[in-house]
Amino acid sequence: MKNIVIVLLLAATLGLAAFSWHQKNQLTQLQTRLAAAQNQLQEKPAANEQIARAERKAKLLQDVLVDTSKFATEKSKQAEQLQQSLAAAKTNDSNPFAGIFKDPKMKEMIKSSQKAFMGPMIDKQYAALFQQLNLTPEQSATMKDLLQKKMLAGADAGMSMMDGSLDAAQRADLAKQMKSETDDYDAQIKQFLGDENYQAFQAYEKTTPDRMTVSQFNDQLSGGATALTADQQQQLVQMMSEERNGFAWTTDYNNKNPANGDFASMFSEDKINQFAKEKERLDQQVFDHARQFLSADQLTAFQAFLKSQRELQIAGMQMAAKMFAPK
């Protein structure tokens, strides 16, 4: 997974915010289930064993609710701290984020939030690959560890790259360091899987951005009448991957890092605007093809989802432009 590291701080902030939103939804669902279990005790006569099971279920849900609430509260606090640090760092300089990435505590908070999301994300996104490769539980655990290390490779260098006092040459050296660390883990994964399985891994990774997008969209619909079927999810992943990889980009930010470290030129206003236009065209193509296998209600939700994701991506690039603006 070599997608460009655009804005680590934005990713952490949005990640924590999204996680808090997800946790709140979970809390609501758990509270509903808990209430249903308690109503079962009060309103539905049953045999002693049924009552005992309902009591155990209610107790379990109550425990999960308490634990989830504590965890969500902690993550919300971290998100608030991060946003406060952003506000405190704003100055009259062209780069309002210049001093944030010099703070060891801020770096540690960002790394901690990355690690918290990485494990569950790998479990969800790579489960199909582990099954496809017939990996044992022990092999899956080893592969998961290598993937996590690869994704976190160069985290320190990536955050240092955001330091507003660095010039293009210094950023270029950090970019080379990140690539070297990532390539090293790629070599370890290849050695672990063997040539044939490694080719399957590479093919699977090309679809990873699309799998993540479909997974997010499916999570949004889950539990409702418009939830995606397994076949629809697979069709969406395949179609989106083909459309994205076959699109004739003139401004492509996928898997790109400027060799000379000139991120300021990379995130110029003209290039971001051009990318936004092309991304909108790609999203329209994806939406048109989705008509073949999504219902009318699903299509309405999908169109809104694509728009919100595109706007979020452009906002990240605009923030990157501020971070890398010339001093």
* pLDDT for the residue numbered 266: 80
Would you say residue 309 lies in a domain? yes
Evaluate whether 236 touches 290 at the Cβ level (below 8 Å).
yes
Q: How many domains does the chain have?
A: 3
For residue 7, what pLDDT is reported?
40
pLDDT of residue 254: 66
Average of per-residue pLDDT values in the chain:
75
Q: Which of 215, 188, 202, 203 is nearest to 125 (CA)?
A: 215
Please report, rounded to a whole number, the percentage of residues in the chain having pLDDT higher than 70.
Answer: 61
My answer on whether 213 and 314 are in the same domain is: yes
Give percent of the chain above pLDDT 90.
35
- Answer yes or no: is 196 within a domain: yes
98 lies in a domain?
no
**What are the residue ranges in the chain where pLDDT is below 70?**
1-103, 154-158, 162-164, 252, 254-261, 325-327
The CA–CA distances, whole Å, from 295 to 220, 240, 290, 291 equal 15, 17, 9, 7
Q: Are residues 215 and 176 in the same domain?
A: no
The pTM (predicted TM-score) of the whole model is: 0.65
Same domain? 200 vs 213: no
Structural domain boundaries enclosing 236: 209-327
Q: Do 182 and 126 have their domain in common? A: yes
Out of 181, 205, 229, pick the residue that ends a domain. 205
The three-state secondary structure class of 97 is coil
Please indicate, yes or no, if residue 107 is contained in any of the structural domains.
no
Q: Is residue 104 part of a domain?
A: no
Q: What integer pLDDT is reported at residue 153 of this predicted model?
A: 76
Does one domain contain both 169 and 254? no
**Domain assignment present for 18:** yes
